[in-house]
Structure 1
């Protein structure tokens, strides 16, 4: 009897142990996390596959920005900060590999753990993680950063904070975030929030920070000096805590990164030719082919490098603000798209060398098919059939012109759409029933595409004149543009949205109705689409890649047939002209190509 009792007791203990091992949420800490499946690199990886672990350290790289700056805090809405600061001076708990659709590896955190449903995620900090002043990164710093940026930081951080049900310390170096909705991506996004030092902002309002209030970071570079609207100098921190991490091996190789600011792209290019900056990115294929023949290149002092990628085209074009009439009428937007003679403009400005964007995710497996919606894509869209615009289910493709300057067929089609929307020619001008003329303003800022954008609008304005529409171009400096864009003070403006192979929560920030009346959102077109929001939600809840792809293709249909943007060129290859001393690992390029995390992070200086 006694032996039976012990036998039963042992069996019971064994069952309890197995139950604990199989209990929901009993996950194991890991070195990385992926959106689906496991990350590609093992725990003992030596370096990121697109970095050269033996790259030499040293040298200087000088880059050029167009415009100016009045802030060195890229985490708040106030002011304009150099875009490079966020990735070079600050870090997050996890770091992203640019060679995988969406995989993260430990950076400030040594491990990540999440439940089977990803309704929570837990991070354990590295013991040696330090801010640039030498102080340790603590759990309190992390929790404060999430809360502060989520409430007082830039609007891009607030959506994520609203999805956190609880954030709590679970150990001396660990914390757990619990989410209030089903969304597989949240566990990854949690690893990508910038971490700031709580003590620096004690009793101060970070949202009102001035230019002298430079946030302390943990990154490999620190701001050494600055001259407002002229330059910022970043110095590689010799005491950088993470210099021996596998994730950092072969990266951040320059001793100094200097950012010079120029009034426009033409002046910047001339500075490059004169040897004042180290590299430029060229977005015009015709200029790349015909205008890089100056002496320094012929002497071999300048090298032209092309960096292909596998990411979606994203959307670059002239976005229409549907908050304003008559752009709230899809027929007017379709007419404006139809009148935009891309084939002629492309031939005139780029020699026809750059293909057009055909949808938001074109050039990837996430792109919509241009015929009728079928299969799972159709199933996802059908419940919203009454709210979808023509073409979403039936099939849609951008209008194509005959390539001539007159573009007669498309001009006639555009006029028919405008007439159907209630606009007719009155005394040589297109006007509505109240006699109000159709007059539009396109707002442009000075940046790398300004030359092309201005030239496009000059040609476009002449086409619209034939319809009786007046198009006026307004040019502003970067600060004025940022303010007007944040307040949606435009009819049309140039928009660029880089999209990844793993679109997620940022899509709601780009296209969600919450941003329609929220200043500073990325929903520039002011779109309100229950179908788009439902597709984004489905993307975030998808349990496998196939369902994710179907939902993204459905979203692409909703966006494209919404006629919100006049698309222009896609950039299927990055074009960088640079000094010959600048090298990069050309034998293994990341699938994201020349994106953030490539130049200057994995390049190095090598004296001739």
Structure 2
């Protein structure tokens, strides 16, 4: 029943090594190599904003300050959990941290959300790049300081980056592994040296990491799960909190960096309060009462049928659509191939065939969604049609190690006939299971040793039960002992970090130029590292070899060839049950906010760029 390992042939490995020379002919960061005094960095040298820019185009530089925003964040990072929290350290594996805790820390540089891969000076005023593109020297501003008034120096920067590399969350530590050293040569100069194995996005990740106070973490253990507020330096600090219930971030009036171009128009709320709910319905009820003032809606039924309460009828609550981001994304049920019962791709494909998307979309989602088919959905990084010449150049050396399907049209899962129990597709699934060695014994399928094929879907919210139940029911129809289990958020975090599950749902948006982050989801190293996002246990030598080529990418076209090739391999190997995507944000909010005219292409963060509109609030009788 187990398929042969997809290891590389010697010939393929040699061809890969030979081809790398041509791919890597150009120096990393060639456009910046040898330059000094740069005000910004971009992977391919395209900077929208000049050195003397006043503010980003997508903010309102005259936005008023004041008021509150209360919400449950729709996305999060690392060990953060929107359903509960028991620590304020959001950069380690241990514990559950509140989303947006990163807002209390400054970074060396700040991302521009209307550019795919550009950053501009924040704590760092300028940066020099060595001729070989491996050494970045950051010259810090004179004014950065922590909230206690102590100066933020190069020593704090060096300490923070070293600490995150050694003890940070695996999804941080792995990405910055190519950092060979970081040195504070004087109080205002820090030198980051990379070892040559980095990709072009590595330095952008490094400059976007939090800067901690060395003094604070000399007195406090970094890896401890603690509710002691950490010392930050950014526009917000930790205010009132109740563990697992809410946390308030308070705006710092005398924030040292508030007049910087990268900060003008941001941090407009006096208080950002984050409330925690274990299920969506209680959160919705809190929004209806006005306890929450902003809500991004992810349940189609609720969006279509339930926004009919008095505040909506009175115009006090507004529903709006905002465009989605131009970023590749993943969403699907990930099948844990660390468990031998899922080792055969035919078994995994059969599980995927049990999902009738057409029925789910019509009956559960009100036809709101399109089908997810790619690991790089909604972007130019997704594979389509037959492989182009650039993809074939990457894939041909591995032909002997790959399914023939990789060289044809990429796999697209059928949507089903809309009945919920498409007999033809379920028959195909049953045939695949039989081909994989499963045989019928009574009501259930068993392997050669008599072990039943059990499949448990692990959930952290009951809101996913209806759509998951559709899949469970169809799997039962073809002899799979399928079930679902809803567990509490803290336990879910522990089990997913330890890869202790059969199947879990996973969703993530990559950066607009997805060089960093792919290893944490698709590499063999991540498959063996607890806490990473490689929930499927993907361990494909061909994929690893393609990921290694990320260090050699010198153009967006080269990157697209690599991601499309990876996409073809993964789709042919059936590591997931592809879900759905929306392509926009469904937002409901109490009519107390204003927002900029321009929504940037690569982010949607109302908590950072919206503001409290006192006139609107007064009109509906809702004080800030």
TM-score (norm: length of structure 2): 0.89
Q: Which of residues 185, 188, 209 in structure 1 aligns to 2:204?
A: 188
DSSP 3-state at the match of 1:553: helix
Per-residue deviation, 1:392: 1.7
Per-residue deviation, 1:479: 0.6
DSSP 3-state at the match of 2:64: coil
1:123-142 equivalent positions in 2, closer than 5 A: 123-142=138-157
Aligned residue number for residue 602 of structure 1: 609
Conservation of the 8 A alpha-carbon contact between 2:155 and 2:187: no
Bigger-Rg structure (1/2) = 1
Conservation of the 8 A alpha-carbon contact between 1:226 and 1:232: yes
Conservation of the 8 A alpha-carbon contact between 1:302 and 1:580: yes
Per-residue deviation, 1:272: 0.3
Provide Cα deviations, 1:426-474, integer angstroms capped at 9, x if missing partner.
Answer: 112111122221111111113xxx41x2111111111111101121111
DSSP 3-state at the match of 1:436: coil
Conservation of the 8 A alpha-carbon contact between 2:329 and 2:376: yes
Q: Which of residues 274, 277, 299 in structure 1 aligns to 2:314?
A: 299
Residue 547 in structure 1 maps to residue 554 in structure 2: no
How far apart in 2 are the matches of 1:467 and 1:403?
18
Aligned residue number for residue 382 of structure 2: 367
Aligned residue number for residue 499 of structure 1: 510
DSSP 3-state at the match of 1:556: helix
Aligned residue number for residue 600 of structure 2: 590
Aligned residue number for residue 146 of structure 1: 161
Per-residue deviation, 1:313: 4.8
Q: Which of residues 476, 479, 490 in structure 2 aligns to 1:465?
A: 476
Aligned residue number for residue 476 of structure 1: 487
CA shift in 2, pair 1:323/1:352, >3 Å: same
CA shift in 2, pair 1:70/1:172, >3 Å: closer
Conservation of the 8 A alpha-carbon contact between 2:420 and 2:470: no
Residue 37 in structure 1 maps to residue 61 in structure 2: no
Conservation of the 8 A alpha-carbon contact between 1:542 and 1:548: yes
Q: Which of residues 408, 411, 416 in structure 2 aligns to 1:401?
A: 416
DSSP 3-state at the match of 2:521: helix
CA shift in 2, pair 1:390/1:267, >3 Å: farther
Conservation of the 8 A alpha-carbon contact between 2:322 and 2:586: yes
How far apart in 2 are the matches of 1:356 and 1:317?
10
CA shift in 2, pair 1:292/1:326, >3 Å: same
CA shift in 2, pair 1:455/1:419, >3 Å: same
1:506-517 equivalent positions in 2, closer than 5 A: 506-517=517-528
Conservation of the 8 A alpha-carbon contact between 1:440 and 1:470: yes
Provide Cα deviations, 1:482-512, integer angstroms capped at 9, x if missing partner.
Answer: 1111111100011112123210121111211
1:259-408 equivalent positions in 2, closer than 5 A: 259-369=274-384, 371-395=385-409, 396-408=411-423
How far apart in 1 are the matches of 2:401 and 2:87?
42
Per-residue deviation, 1:593: 4.4
Per-residue deviation, 1:26: 3.1
Per-residue deviation, 1:540: 3.4
DSSP 3-state at the match of 1:392: helix
Aligned residue number for residue 521 of structure 1: 532
Provide Cα deviations, 1:58-113, integer angstroms capped at 9, x if missing partner.
Answer: 00111136521100110111110111111x11121011111111100111111122
How far apart in 2 are the matches of 1:231 and 1:442?
29
Q: How many pairs are equivalent?
A: 576
How far apart in 1 are the matches of 2:185 and 2:130?
15
How far apart in 2 are the matches of 1:113 and 1:246?
20
How far apart in 1 are the matches of 2:338 and 2:601?
37
Provide Cα deviations, 1:343-381, integer angstroms capped at 9, x if missing partner.
Answer: 111111012221111202122111111x32121011111
Residue 97 in structure 1 maps to residue 108 in structure 2: no
Provide Cα deviations, 1:378-417, integer angstroms capped at 9, x if missing partner.
Answer: 1111222233345222222222311212201110110111
1:242-253 equivalent positions in 2, closer than 5 A: 242-253=257-268
TM-score (norm: length of structure 1): 0.91
DSSP 3-state at the match of 2:207: helix
Aligned residue number for residue 449 of structure 2: 434
How far apart in 1 are the matches of 2:72 and 2:187?
43
1:187-266 equivalent positions in 2, closer than 5 A: 187-202=203-218, 204-212=220-228, 214-266=229-281
Provide Cα deviations, 1:178-226, integer angstroms capped at 9, x if missing partner.
Answer: 11124222232221121100011115431124222x2211211111121
Per-residue deviation, 1:38: 2.8
CA shift in 2, pair 1:170/1:454, >3 Å: same
CA shift in 2, pair 1:297/1:125, >3 Å: same
Residue 55 in structure 1 maps to residue 63 in structure 2: yes
DSSP 3-state at the match of 1:202: helix
How far apart in 2 are the matches of 1:26 and 1:399?
52
CA shift in 2, pair 1:375/1:286, >3 Å: farther
How far apart in 2 are the matches of 1:463 and 1:238?
57
Q: Which of residues 103, 122, 125 in structure 2 aligns to 1:107?
A: 122
Per-residue deviation, 1:547: 1.3
How far apart in 1 are the matches of 2:184 and 2:235?
27
DSSP 3-state at the match of 1:381: helix
How far apart in 1 are the matches of 2:427 and 2:216?
62
DSSP 3-state at the match of 1:454: helix
How far apart in 1 are the matches of 2:526 and 2:452?
29
Provide Cα deviations, 1:504-523, integer angstroms capped at 9, x if missing partner.
Answer: 12111121111222211111
Aligned residue number for residue 81 of structure 1: 97
Gaps of 5+ in 1: 1-21
Q: Which of residues 54, 61, 79 in structure 2 aligns to 1:46?
A: 54
Conservation of the 8 A alpha-carbon contact between 1:308 and 1:593: no
How far apart in 2 are the matches of 1:534 and 1:120?
26
Provide Cα deviations, 1:327-349, integer angstroms capped at 9, x if missing partner.
Answer: 12111000111111111111110
How far apart in 2 are the matches of 1:362 and 1:76?
29
How far apart in 1 are the matches of 2:403 and 2:147?
52
Per-residue deviation, 1:57: 0.4
DSSP 3-state at the match of 1:368: coil
How far apart in 2 are the matches of 1:264 and 1:410?
33
Provide Cα deviations, 1:281-316, integer angstroms capped at 9, x if missing partner.
Answer: 112344323321211111111111211134245111
Per-residue deviation, 1:230: 1.2
How far apart in 2 are the matches of 1:387 and 1:500?
30
Conservation of the 8 A alpha-carbon contact between 1:120 and 1:187: no
554-563 or 91-100: which moved more?
554-563
CA shift in 2, pair 1:198/1:347, >3 Å: same
